[in-house]
Amino acid sequence: MDAPLSNDQAMTRDSLYGTAAESTYAGITSFMRRRYSRDLRGVDVAVSGVPFDTATSNRPGARFGPRGIRAASAGIAWERHWPWAFDPFDHLAVVDFGDCAFDYGVPHSIPQSIEAHAERILAAGSAMLTFGGDHFVTYPLLKAHARKHGPLSLIHFDAHSDTWPDEEGQRVDHGTMFWHAAREGLVEPSRSVQIGLRTTNDDAMGFAILDARQVHRRGCESIVEAIRARVGDNPVYLTFDIDCLDPAFAPGTGTPVCGGLSTVQALEILGGLRGINLVGMDVVEVAPAYDSAEITSLAAATLAMEMLCLYAARHKVVGAL
């Protein structure tokens, strides 16, 4: 008799490694059926959500992004991520750490709660793959990562620069994070790059900008070469705002802008970055209430898997580069 199917691997799997089939339409929806755990001993990457969206400037709803991405990931969790030649889960011990806890009623305490959440994970020796939430969450995450790794190269996929000034320094705003990050030395603009932009901000603050028109006109290989030349071997934090994708491919987001990247273009560019010194990563601004047939959540889950493959290729898989 065949062995019974394994169900609810988020709770029942014995090993943190490997990929096994489970019904795509049933069971507990951890990210990619990884075990839910707050035990970080031996963990290479902790996946966690930050369900915060009150810094958004248009449509709210990204607080449901972590849940939406996890649910969509169930449909792709049964096999090795294509087109990579290895399964990252054969090489990385990955857990779903659950979501960051904070008090929504005390909004100015939330950045500190996110930073402390990241500090706990990084102090245990695990890397982080984080799901937003709106894009503000990247700012406290960068603080924790820069404290561990030093000034970072930022690879930033977005429709917006998120470098609008906040001279008073008091805003909890998803459009000001990288203005603060650059001024505070968390990231090095001269070694950082923003991809897919298609909104106007006259002050680039020293970041290299490969806007959406350049991606469409130059092609993915040229964009990959430019990103590699910019970041070199510096520690990289990779942040992907899902609105980098055109609304045709990602309608489920709070601030959609026409003219963006296709899902294929985004995946091709990410896949071409194999070998970068990736130390932290996030996917943000998925708002399932505005989605159609879960295509935005599915895109986010697939992009997150591409990031895990990049991390494994650099840190775990001998000969993968």
Indicate whether 126 belongs to any domain.
Answer: yes
pLDDT at 160 over 50: yes
Nearest residue to 160 (alpha-carbon basis) of 71, 72, 55: 55
pLDDT digits (tens, 9 = 90+) for 49-91: 999 999 899 999 999 999 999 999 999 999 999 999 999 999 9
Cα 38 from chain centroid?
20
What residues contact residue 97 under an 8 Å CB cut-off, 6+ apart? 36, 37, 38, 40, 46, 47, 48, 121
| pLDDT attached to residue 181 | 96
Average pLDDT of the segment spanning 265-293:
98
Indicate whether 3 belongs to any domain.
Answer: no
| pLDDT attached to residue 320 | 57
Nearest residue to 31 (alpha-carbon basis) of 174, 128, 121: 128
Indicate whether 4 belongs to any domain.
Answer: no
pTM reported for the whole predicted model: 0.94
CA atoms within 13 A of residue 148's CA, in its CB half-sphere:
22
In this prediction, what percent of the chain has a pLDDT beyond 70? 97
| pLDDT attached to residue 139 | 97
Cα 59 from chain centroid?
20
| pLDDT attached to residue 6 | 67
Mean predicted lDDT score pLDDT of the chain: 94
CA distance 140 to 111: 6
pLDDT band at 171, cuts 50/70/90? Answer: confident
Amino acid at 253: T
Indicate whether 131 belongs to any domain.
Answer: yes
Indicate whether 16 belongs to any domain.
Answer: no
Q: What is the CATH number of the domain that holds 95?
A: 3.40.800.10
- Three-state SS for 146? helix
Contact predicate 294/67, CB 8 Å: no
Indicate whether 12 belongs to any domain.
Answer: no
| pLDDT attached to residue 11 | 81
CA distance 194 to 192: 7
pLDDT at 114 over 50: yes
> Number of structural domains, the chain?
1
pLDDT at 1 over 90: no
Domain range holding 214? 31-315
DSSP category for residue 261? B
pLDDT band at 318, cuts 50/70/90? Answer: low
Indicate whether 224 belongs to any domain.
Answer: yes
DSSP category for residue 164? -
Indicate whether 24 belongs to any domain.
Answer: no
**Counting Cβ atoms within 10 Å, is residue 83 exposed (0-12), middle (13-18) or buried (19+)?**
exposed
111: enclosing H helix or E strand: helix 110-123
pLDDT band at 14, cuts 50/70/90? Answer: confident
Taking CB atoms within 8 Å and a gap of at least 24, the contacts of 11-19 are: 11/35, 11/36, 16/42, 16/43, 16/93, 16/94, 16/95, 17/89, 17/90, 17/91, 17/92, 17/93, 18/87, 18/89, 18/90, 19/77, 19/78, 19/79, 19/80, 19/87, 19/89, 19/90
Average pLDDT of the segment spanning 161-168:
87
Amino acid at 298: L
